[in-house]
Structure formats: structure tokens, C-alpha cells
Amino acid sequence: MIDNFIGKWRSFAIVIAVLFIGFILTVNESLRFLKNDQDAYSAEIDAKVVEVAKKIENEVNGHLVLIRAMQAYFNANGVTTNNQFYAFADAMRTSQVGAIFQGWALRAPKSELTEIQDILTDMPAAANISNVITNLNNSFNGEIDLSAFPVVSTFPEWATDRFVGRDLGSIAALAGGLDESIQQDEIILSNPLKNFSSVTTDHAVIAVLPFYRPGLPKALSMQREENALGVVFAVIDLKRIVEFSMSVSPIMKSIKTGEIAVDIGAISEVGDTSSLFQSIEMNSLDDWMRPSFLFPNNVANYNFAVGNLQLEARYRIDHSHARTGAFDAALMIFVIGLIVTFASCFYIYWLLSRTHRINLLVQSRTRDLERNERRLEDMAEISTDWFWETDQDLKFSWFSERFHDVVGLRPDSYLGKTRLEALGFDLEDLPKEQKELWNAHLECLERRQKFTNFRYSAERENGGEVWVAINGKPIYDEDGAFCGYHGSGRVVTAEEKTKRELQVKEQEMQSYIEELEVSRQYLERNTAEIAQLAEEYSVSKERAEASEKSKSEFLASMSHEIRTPMTGVMGFADLLLDADLKPEDREKVLKIKFATQSLLTIINDILDLSKLEAGRLEIENLDFNIQQAVDEAVDLVRERAREKKLEIILKHGEDVPEGLNADPTRCRQVLINLIGNAVKFYARRSDHCSFGVFDW
């Protein structure tokens, strides 16, 4: 009985132990499940907040694109009448959210601001303001600290009476922005306006961008300051853009159900925050609710920028209200853990651990995808390439933002057109080679094939020529139907220019080679003539001494005519050596030059002997540099010594004067004969040795 009692108590103890372990595991896993659910929901809200920020950026960027179009219009056409500006602005008008009005302002000296305001107030819409600008140019020296920016025209027209003549430079929220925009040639957004006008809210901002006198340079900051003619601007209701972006975002459903609270504000340069959207009527998110042990609530924030303006999105999640089902599931897990056995508890623990691992994997993959997306966006922003798409009719449907910056062409001149339509030329007017390349490219497109490095030229907006190389790949839908092409492009203008220069160099090289061939043939003819003369000389010498003397006199008189073609051959050889030759071609030309030098030496010896025999050899007395003459003589035979693997060492004595009075030509001949004979008759005893030292 005692053993039975002990066994029962032991079993009871084991059961208690199992229940205790099961209780601990169940509580732990219940809390873990609740925490994972809260983390997953927080990650979901974080993604929605980022999506809202992207939507706000896109909406603001739509306004900035319109401003850049206005700048391009004024840069190309200069100032216009109000009617012309109304027509352009009306054609560019879109249904952008938050747009209040646009306009342009003239850059003028502050001293004449009052006079200009009177002129602008009384000027009819069809009048040309260029006369006013001409008068201003006579007195305005372009100094930034003396400039004002009176508004000339606005669109829509209802804003004209309220804002024409108003100085943009006097707006406190835009202080310094106009000068910064001119210096950097970039869009500058002001701080939120306070009490600006009755038609704008306190959350409106002004975006400004300068335009310049047509045809004048603006690449340098100094040039932009000097040639800035005025600014184009747009007044944007930032609060309305934020409210619209929030209204179309999935996060709005969570806000309406009270699951989260969001506060979005604009941060000024001094650090003040102007609220643009508040989902709760409280001063701080900390006052919205108090966290508990099971449902902690942390305030998170996400900072982003629109242009130069910094925005901040702060939000807080009420997990107890947002995920009530999660608490019920955790309680069910706890109840099941007390009922089932240790194996069931372990199994539940394994399931929860597996769920946790799956959640971590999903979060890890999400982060990897976000990093990859950011990486691709960063690479697209800094890359010198651009990307494009066409539809099934081979008409352009999309370009990346880098297209205009890199190529210098407007995307709207290509959208909705094929490549040939956008370039605006006829294939029949092209040269034969380019026409064949284009026909091959068009056949490739018709066969829906992939292509790479297709190059063509286009004319920039400023009139310059640009060469581009494009790559493309056909795209098909799930049913196998052709959807168009995706591709990339890059600028290869420098490569094409280099290619053309190389072609010119090759043509010049070919002409040099042809000239060398003519010289070689001329040399062969002259060599044959010299050989024939030598043979005749030998026969004449055997016949009679008188005939030999007559021949010597003839050779002495012909010295100039014989040396001239040899000098020409050496000159053409030097021209070829100055060109960019292949190593094997350079070696051949060097051998021609050395052979010509040797032949010229033989001819000089023959001519000198003839002069001696004829009594016509004259010794000159000239001042010359003896050391330089020795260096030149050594240089003439150094190549022959190098071919025999010999080394010539030259040393000038300290007592040798630099200048002498003698016949430099005869001195060089003596030195060349001495050194040449030393090289010619030297018997090599080792691979590397010095064969002589000349001490002058």
C-alpha cells in the first residue's frame, strides 16, 4: 500500500511537473505569438507609411516637371506676352492635386521696382514686355543683392489682379531661395507660407526656377548670375497634396477604424514643424493612449524630402484595438497547452516556432527586396545610361528620368512615335552604309529579335550632334503575345569621334606608305643607275686613264644630283618613324633608313675619291662643336653595334674644347669610318662586353 501511495504521489508529481512545464511553455509561446503578430502588423503599417511618402513625392514631382517645362519654354523663346503665356500654361495644365496658380517674374533692379510695378499694372495682356527689359538692361548691372522679382503674369487669370507686380524677393518664406535657385539652376521650394494671401493656406509653398536670356551661356555660376532674366514659379498647396495622398492610401482604413494615429508635418530650416495632416485632435501622439504590458505602443517616424523641403511622418499603433483576434488566439493556445500532453505542448511550440521562422523569413525577404529596389533606384540615378520601353507597335511609351539629362533630348518628342518618326529623316536620304545598318535593324525589330549596340546620331535641342548606342529585348505576356521592347541606351559621341579620327589617321598612314613605296622604287632605279655608272667606270679605267679622269670629273660634278634622292628617301623614312606604326613595320623602316645611310656613306666616299682625282676636293674651315660631332657619329653606328650585341661607351676628356675650327664633314667621315670598322671587324668573345673607349 505504501508503495502504491508513493507511486501515485510520484505520478502526481510527474503530472504536476508536466503541467508546470506545459504552463510555462504555453504562456511563453502565447506571448511570443502576440508579439510576432504585433511586429508583423507594425511592419505592414511601416510599408503603408512609406507608400504614402512615395505618393506625396510623386505628386510634388508632377508640379516640378511643369515648372521645368515652363523654364524650357522661356529659355527657348525669351519673355512673351501674357496671352502667349496663358496659351502655353493652358496647354500644359493638368489635373494635378494642390495646384493653386503658376506664373513668371522679371528680374529687375530694386531701384526701379515701383516704376516697373506701375508699368505691369497698366500693360495689356497682348503687349510685349521686351521693351521694358531693354530699358532695364541699360541700368541693371546683374548684381544679385540689388535685384527684385516683380510678378509679370500668372495663370489662371483670376490670380493676375492679386499678384501682378508683387515682388517675390520680399516673401519671408522664400528668403535666400531665389538667389540659391539662380546660382544652382535648381528648383527651390519655400517654407510654408504664413498669411500670404486669401487664396492660399498657411501650408502653401512656392517653387521657383530661373530662366535665362536665350542663346547666352549658363554653365557656370557666374554666367547664370549674369544672364538670369527672371524666374518661373508655382504656388502649391502642400496640405492638400498630403491629404489627397492619405485619402487614396490603404492606411486610411486603419486610421478610420482607430487602429493607428498619424501626424505628417513639414520641417523648416530652423527646425520648426508645420503640421500638414493630423488624424487625431491632440497636440502629441503620446496623449492618444497609454501602453500596457501586453500591448506596447511605440511612436515611430519616417523622414523624407520633396525637393529641398523636409517632411516627417510620425505615427502610433493601438495593437489592442487593431488585433483583437490575436489576443483570442493566444488565449486559446494557453488553454490547449493546459489540456494536452507534453507532446501536444511541444507540438504547439514547434508550430509556433515554425510560424515565427516563417514570419522572420518573410520580413527578411521583404527587407532584401526593399534593399534591391533601393539599389536599383540608386544605380539608375547615378548611371550615365537610360532606359526605354516601346509598345507592340514599336512606339515609345516610357523613358527613364536620365534620358533628358544624358542625351539632351526631350522625352515628349519621342513618346508615341517610332524611332524613325522621332528622328525625322527618310532612309532614302541616308548614305549607303547607314541605310544598310538601319534596314538590318528594322528587320531585326520585325523578327522580334534581341539587339545590342545599335548606333545612330541625333540632333540635340541646342543643335549639337549626339551619338547613342542602344540595346533592346522583346517582351511577351503570359499568353506569348508580343508587348514591345525594353531596352537601355548610352551616349557614345566620344567613341564615334575617336573612331573618325582613327580613320583619318589610317588614310594618312596609307598615303605615307604609298609615298615610301614610290621612294623605294626611285631608290632602286637610282641604285641601278649608280651600279651601271660604276661598271662603265671600271671598263673605262681599263681602257684609258684619260677616260677615268673624265669620269671622275663627271661624278664630282654630279654629287648634288646623286645625294638628293638618297636624302629624300631618308626624309620619307623619318616621316614614317614619326607616325604610329606597328612594331614590325617600324623595324622594316629602320632597316631601310640604315641601309640608305650605308649607301649614302659609300656614295660620299666614291664622290670624295672622284673629287680628289679631279682635283676639286675643297677643305672647309668652319667653327663647330666637336663633342656634338662625336655624339652624332656614334649615334649613326650605334644601331649596328646593338644588332651585334655590342656596347659603345663614349667619354669626353676634360681638356677637350667644345668648339673647333676645321672641316666638320671630313671629321665626321673619319670618325664614322673608325667606329664603323671597329664594329664591323670586332670578334665577339662574350655575350656582353665593351669594345672601345674614346677619350677626347
* 196-213 confidence digits (pLDDT tens): 766 667 788 899 999 998
Higher pLDDT, 237 or 272: 237
Please tell me whether the peptide bond between 109 and the residue prior to it is cis, using omega within 30 degrees of 0.
no
DSSP H/E element including 267: strand 260-267
CA–CA separation, 619 vs 610, rounded Å?
A: 15
- Predicted confidence band of residue 627 (pLDDT cuts 50, 70, 90): confident
Give the highest mean pLDDT range of 236-250, 513-527, 640-654. 236-250
Mean pLDDT of 645-665: 82
Q: Which domains does the chain have, with CATH numbers?
A: 59-233 (3.30.450.350), 386-491 (3.30.450.20), 492-618 (1.10.287.130), 620-696 (3.30.565.10)
Least-confidence region, from 53-57, 211-215, 536-540, 573-577: 536-540
Polymer length in residues for the chain:
696
CA–CA separation, 683 vs 586, rounded Å?
A: 29
- pLDDT at position 7 is 47
Mean pLDDT of 597-610: 72
Q: What are phi and psi of 284, to 5 degrees?
A: -145, 150
Higher pLDDT, 574 or 245: 245
Is the pLDDT at 685 greater than 60? The verdict is no
Provide the terminal-to-terminal Cα distance of the chain, rounded to the nearest Å. 133
- Predicted confidence band of residue 613 (pLDDT cuts 50, 70, 90): low
Is the pLDDT at 214 greater than 90? The verdict is no
- Dihedral of CA 569/570/575/577: which sign? positive
Distances in whole angstroms, Cα of residue 93 to Cα of each of 186, 236, 624 = 22, 14, 86
- pLDDT at position 211 is 92
Q: What pTM value is reported for the model?
A: 0.44
CA angle, corner 634, sides to 633 and 635, nearest 5?
90
pLDDT digits 0-9 by tens, 73-92: 888 888 877 788 888 888 87
- Dihedral of CA 38/44/48/49: which sign? positive
